[in-house]
Chain A
Amino acid sequence: MTGKLILGVPSKGRLMEQTADDFAARGLALAKTGHQRGYRGEIAGFPDVEVAYLSASEIARHLQLGRIHLGVTGEDLIREHIPDADKRCDLVAKLGFGRADVVVAVPECWIDVATIADLEEAAAIFYREHGRRLRVATKYMNLTRRFFAEKGLVSYRIVESLGATEGTPAAQTAEIIVDITTTGTTLRANRLKTLSNGTILRSQACLFASIAAPRSPASGAAEARIRQHFAKSI
């Protein structure tokens, strides 16, 4: 143990850039140490902080296990990958970028289905007619199960989908999907529509603190200083 505070930030793409911009606007300058393609960094003026560049889903996992103290990742990933997320992670701040909704979408031609209650009834009839459950393609297996359980929808099966989820109804590998959407354009292009009460989560990038991670006096002090930069909106 180095005793340092470890901050996990996204290691690629828009999310990495937006995180750096957001931190800079709060007076926290993130910079890589060593090679530009490396995965280690620092915050100027914070000698007790080590920055770890990780994939967004790894950040969720490491926060859960307490391997990093702070991390920037999507709320969707935290809620998907961590059971009892509120007990294991503390939401420090919503960062206002990386916005996307996790939604239930069904084929547009299902003109009789506008709500989750309609879907439940259609699913029951589908089971009777076809002798199998309605298939839901998604990578959000836990969010989907929890949401459907809350809404009382039971007659379905999840088919795990790790890409091109919107295409699964057309490919006949699923009947409906649960996926992330920002503008709905991809859903429409694939002849899918959302349901009026079918939004599972309005997600955005957030800074989370791990409850499980052990703090040294130095890392605890560094965390308190960083948290101050997120105490007010920018």
Chain B
Amino acid sequence: MRVEPSAFPQAETPAESALRFEALEAQAEQIMGVFARAGYERVAPSFIQPADIFLDRIGEALRNRTYVFTDPDGQELCLRPDLTIPACRIYLERNPEADAEARYSYNGPAFRYQPGEPDALRPREFRQAGIENFGEADREQTDAEVLALILEAIRLAGLTGFEVRCGDLGLFRALLGALPIPARWRDRLLHGFWRPGAFHSALRQLASAPASLPDPRVAALAASLDPQNSLTAEQQVAAFLDANNLAMLGARNTGEITSRLLSAAADMREQPLSADVVELVESYLAISGPADAALAAIASLMNEARIDLSAPLDACRRRQMLMREADIDMSAMEFDTDFGRQFEYYSGFVFQIEMPGHGIAGQIAGGGRYDGLLASIGAERDAPAIGSAIHTERLLAAKGSGR
């Protein structure tokens, strides 16, 4: 069957990977010079990466935005959607123990599917110039240095009128740790943090009915399990499955089922999350404003609630002091407790450099601390790591628009 050729084909595949290529390259060399002078070694992460590591670490949602393909050997590969994980792989290849300090810089294309029509400021091929800093133990000092370096590069490139937005995911983790709630609820809330909608409903659920076992027979089984003896509990679960002709199927085992039933049983005995705690968490996540004022607001909120967050707050204050010492303009810096929710691998300080009023195209650079990422992609232990990348096309365009 022959059908009519389409008059409106798919979005065009541009012939050029970059417009204003020479200007971009010149700008990138300038940026890379700034990184080199700060002791960052230039590396060349592979364009083609194993898909597994991205999909397993960042999750299936990323696949929507990543060019994933299978080669003739059946290996699932992808075009790198960003350069952080590729740089981490270089670090681990060179330092399998993840115990050395290393500073890498890179400049090169990353590839992302753009839903809707790709355009000049959301191209599907774009160049990132960035740095990754591994193994430096003084976290606040390194946080301040990395941000200062990125700002230096952006300023040298000629950008003015930008703002810095930052947050600290470690502070939220510390808050959960200090709350008088069971550890499994902490896990549940922390796990949901990256998805505001799911987080909100998890919070509501803990405040109303923490446990949900709709089948009364299963609820009765859960209530009868011995929380002190997980082996006996597992045997009880196995007997229940047997008696109800429910054969085990697949890789998930009776131990995992038992542990969730034990959690549910504990939740049924637990008082729901108090309204005070819900309000505290929501008030915390609503704080944003000039960095110094925001930290003061957090401190006074914690004081009122008698929650001790002094150590992590002191670390935040120290970082801000170090930033001031590095000549970062703190009046143009906003601290947002909610910020960083979209990047699941970040673990601490996060920041973004934005041109106000330009939407996504105004997001010039971003970065943050990701202390747990190396371990999750194969390192023996967690290691301090922080990185940042500049979206060079947007930087070039933003400079133009300022004139």
Interface residues of A (CB under 8 A from B): 1-2, 6, 8, 39-40, 52-54, 62, 65-68, 83-84, 107-115, 117-118, 120-122, 124-126, 129-130, 132-134, 145, 148-149, 151-152, 154-158, 169-170, 172, 174-175, 191, 196, 212-214
A40 pairs with B1, CB closer than 8 A: yes
Smallest beta-carbon distance B377→chain A, Å? 12
- The residue in chain A whose Cβ has the minimal distance to the Cβ of B200 is A152
Docked complex Cα distance between A158 and B191 (Å): 20
B7 pairs with A109, CB closer than 8 A: no
Say if the beta carbon of B247 comes within 8 Å of chain A. Answer: yes
If A109-B249, A120-B198, A129-B256 touch, whether A65 touches B6 (CB-CB below 8 Å) is yes
B3 pairs with A6, CB closer than 8 A: yes
B4 pairs with A1, CB closer than 8 A: yes
A152 pairs with B60, CB closer than 8 A: no
Q: Which residues from B are CB-within-8-Å of A175? A: 250-252
The answer, among A39, A126, A156, for a CB contact under 8 Å with B252, is: A126
A145 pairs with B64, CB closer than 8 A: yes
Q: Which residues from B are CB-within-8-Å of A52? A: 1, 3
Q: Which residues from B are CB-within-8-Å of A39? A: 1
If A66-B8, A84-B115 touch, whether A126 touches B60 (CB-CB below 8 Å) is no
Smallest beta-carbon distance A49→chain B, Å? 13
Q: Which residues from A are CB-within-8-Å of B195? A: 152, 154
Question: Would you mind naming 21 contact pairs between A and B with Cβ atoms under 8 Å apart?
Answer: A54-B1, A65-B8, A67-B3, A109-B249, A111-B215, A111-B221, A111-B237, A111-B261, A118-B260, A121-B191, A124-B187, A133-B56, A145-B60, A145-B63, A154-B59, A169-B249, A191-B247, A196-B214, A212-B7, A213-B4, A213-B6
- The residue in chain B whose Cβ has the minimal distance to the Cβ of A174 is B250
What 0/1 pattern do residues 255 to 281 of B give for CB contact below 8 A with A? 111011100100000000000000000
Smallest beta-carbon distance A192→chain B, Å? 8
Say if the beta carbon of B402 comes within 8 Å of chain A. Answer: no
A114 pairs with B212, CB closer than 8 A: yes
Say if the beta carbon of B344 comes within 8 Å of chain A. Answer: yes
Q: Which residues from B are CB-within-8-Å of A151? A: 198
Q: Which residues from B are CB-within-8-Å of A8? A: 3
Docked complex Cα distance between A155 and B4 (Å): 43
Say if the beta carbon of B230 comes within 8 Å of chain A. Answer: no
Smallest beta-carbon distance A16→chain B, Å? 14
A214 pairs with B7, CB closer than 8 A: yes
What 0/1 pattern do residues 153 to 196 of B give for CB contact below 8 A with A? 00000000000000000000000000000000001100110110
Say if the beta carbon of B241 comes within 8 Å of chain A. Answer: yes
Smallest beta-carbon distance A111→chain B, Å? 5
The answer, among B61, B213, B253, for a CB contact under 8 Å with A114, is: B213
The answer, among A40, A115, A155, for a CB contact under 8 Å with B59, is: A155
- The residue in chain A whose Cβ has the minimal distance to the Cβ of B196 is A152
The interface on chain B, measured as residues whose beta carbon lies within 8 A of the other chain's beta carbons, has a size of 55
B7 pairs with A66, CB closer than 8 A: yes
Interface residues of B (CB under 8 A from A): 1, 3-10, 55-56, 59-61, 63-64, 115-116, 187-188, 191-192, 194-195, 197-199, 201-202, 205, 212-215, 218, 221, 237, 240-241, 246-253, 255-257, 259-261, 264, 344
B3 pairs with A158, CB closer than 8 A: no
A111 pairs with B241, CB closer than 8 A: yes
B241 pairs with A109, CB closer than 8 A: yes
- The residue in chain A whose Cβ has the minimal distance to the Cβ of B63 is A145
Q: Which residues from B are CB-within-8-Å of A111? A: 215, 218, 221, 237, 240-241, 246, 257, 261
B250 pairs with A169, CB closer than 8 A: yes
Known: A114-B212, A129-B256. 4 other contacts (CB 8 A): A111-B215, A145-B61, A157-B60, A175-B250
Docked complex Cα distance between A200 and B6 (Å): 31
Smallest beta-carbon distance A222→chain B, Å? 14
B191 pairs with A124, CB closer than 8 A: yes
Smallest beta-carbon distance A121→chain B, Å? 7
B259 pairs with A67, CB closer than 8 A: no
Q: Which residues from B are CB-within-8-Å of A62? A: 3
Docked complex Cα distance between A129 and B257 (Å): 12
If A145-B61, A148-B60, A175-B251 touch, whether A157 touches B4 (CB-CB below 8 Å) is no
Docked complex Cα distance between A115 and B260 (Å): 13
The answer, among B4, B8, B55, B250, for a CB contact under 8 Å with A6, is: B4
The answer, among A84, A132, A169, A212, for a CB contact under 8 Å with B56, is: A132
Docked complex Cα distance between A175 and B253 (Å): 11
- The residue in chain B whose Cβ has the minimal distance to the Cβ of A192 is B249
The answer, among B6, B56, B257, for a CB contact under 8 Å with A110, is: B257
Docked complex Cα distance between A88 and B188 (Å): 39
A212 pairs with B8, CB closer than 8 A: yes
Q: Which residues from A are CB-within-8-Å of B215? A: 111, 114
- The residue in chain A whose Cβ has the minimal distance to the Cβ of B3 is A67
- The residue in chain B whose Cβ has the minimal distance to the Cβ of A131 is B56
Q: Which residues from A are CB-within-8-Å of B212? A: 114-115, 117-118
Docked complex Cα distance between A67 and B10 (Å): 12
- The residue in chain A whose Cβ has the minimal distance to the Cβ of B260 is A112
Smallest beta-carbon distance B278→chain A, Å? 17
Docked complex Cα distance between A124 and B189 (Å): 12
Docked complex Cα distance between A40 and B3 (Å): 10
**Among B7, B249, B252, which residue has the most Cβ atoms of chain A within 10 A?**
B252
Q: Which residues from A are CB-within-8-Å of B55? A: 133, 157
B252 pairs with A110, CB closer than 8 A: yes
The answer, among B115, B192, B256, for a CB contact under 8 Å with A152, is: B192
B257 pairs with A112, CB closer than 8 A: yes
Docked complex Cα distance between A109 and B260 (Å): 13
